[in-house]
A and B are shown apart, each in its own frame.
Chain A
């Protein structure tokens, strides 16, 4: 069974701090996605990374796909209360469709003003 492990599970920080969350697997993925889920809502896609070593930036968020395509990280610079939420990573197998998407259990981030 393929697993995506996210760490840390919980993170509570002050506004303005930097943070990094990790998504690791022993399996190789064709692509990896990051979603953010706010309380009471469904997950919303933030980014998809498809190339080993790829780095994508979305304002204060920086996403990296590992060279071996087995891991990814999300770095947030100068976190704000609006960044609070559950961050989920999801990996797609080679040749698979969305039915083969594997989700991690998430990192719950709380940013205090």
Chain B
């Protein structure tokens, strides 16, 4: 079955960096895209970034553009999110979610999420 497993969350000081990973399995990684979506405590969903399986077609939300970098390794079926210059407002559960490109079924499978806490 489709599995997305996030890792790399933790507590980090403001201004520091953290790298999240999303390991995908149970489906053909090629012809898919992976999105990162975050949810601050008690708040709604916020789209962060997305990348195609081959590392192309990258997009970011304005709130992370220039600070975060998304990448895809389709030899490892893994997508990473490098988060730099972290701020308190980046504190959230970070989910990765799949999109099947041919079907256009964005967010059709989700991981369990990894918590990032930015605090001094």
Say whether A and B bind each other. Answer: no
Mark B residues whose CB is within 8 Å of A: none
